[in-house]
Amino acid sequence: MREAYERLIALDGANVTLAMRRAKDQSLYPILRVGTLRLAVPSWALVNTIESRLDTVVARVFDEEHLPIATFIGRDRLATMNGRLHFELRPTFTIDVELRDPNVVPAPGYMIDYARATRDVAAELEAGFRGDLRFRPDPDPAASLRASYGVSALDDRPLPDGSVRFAVGHASTALHPDGPAGLRLRCVEVRVERNHQIATDYELAFGCRYALESTDIRRLAADMRLFLSHRFERFNVVEKASGA
């Protein structure tokens, strides 16, 4: 364990590569992302926070918008495996962290299907927002936190329109199939003003349609992360509606 603590401290401020696996079968492909790792507690408090299994955030990996791609807390199990930091959020959700090699050129985009796209997005957003994220249905219910405790999902039936919905606080997003090789993102903020519920639809200035290929899914997850962080600067209001 001492090696893992020292490795985590050494990576503070470094550009890293993440390999995320949110699936019951951990031999499946990893979801690869890059970002900057920052400790969230002083290095001298790190060991005690982790060994006390506290819910305190110990480190985050941020994207270019300074939004968390991954958030690590004290109760996550930490080890080193094959020279990488290995975080176990639960047996069905692990994240490996290693120093990013600047000489490695990102692989070109490759086509994926809607089911895999929603699984990838669910993993990335849960890694960043952790318990603050709500989504329905779970694209991989066997990998959920509830499943890890042997508790069945509240409702894992597909939504009537085939969408998968994600929410953090008053911001929500929905992914919809958009033809055979694409998907569409809908973004809504709901708030209460003077006893009226106001629902505002937003759309990115360059549109909310994405191709079902790996590079577009990375861009999609980053756009969703921005909106779910209640940062609307790149979004335009499409429609505003109020109700009692």
Kindly report the CATH number assigned to the domain that includes residue 54: 2.30.29
Give the global pTM.
Answer: 0.92
Report pLDDT digits (tens) over 134-168.
Answer: 999 999 988 888 887 777 666 677 788 889 999 99
Report pLDDT digits (tens) over 182-238.
Answer: 999 999 998 877 778 888 999 998 889 999 999 999 999 999 999 999 999 999 998
Same domain, 122 and 213: yes
Q: Residue 208: which domain range?
A: 114-243
Same domain, 118 and 85: no
Strand extents, DSSP E, 146-206: 164-168, 171-177, 182-193, 196-204
Any idea what DSSP says for residue 111?
B
Same domain, 124 and 237: yes
Q: Are 63 and 32 in contact (CB under 8 A)?
A: no
DSSP assignments along 49-91, one per residue: HHHTT-SSEEEEEE-TTS-EEEEEETTSEEEEETTEEEEEEET
What is the total count of domains within the chain?
A: 2
Same domain, 54 and 175: no
Q: Give the C-alpha separation, 156 to 164, whole Å.
A: 11
Q: Give the C-alpha separation, 63 to 40, whole Å.
A: 15
Same domain, 239 and 118: yes
- 24 φ/ψ angles, rounded to the nearest 5 degrees: -60, -40
Phi-psi region of 11 (alpha: psi -120 to 50; beta: other; left: phi over 0): alpha
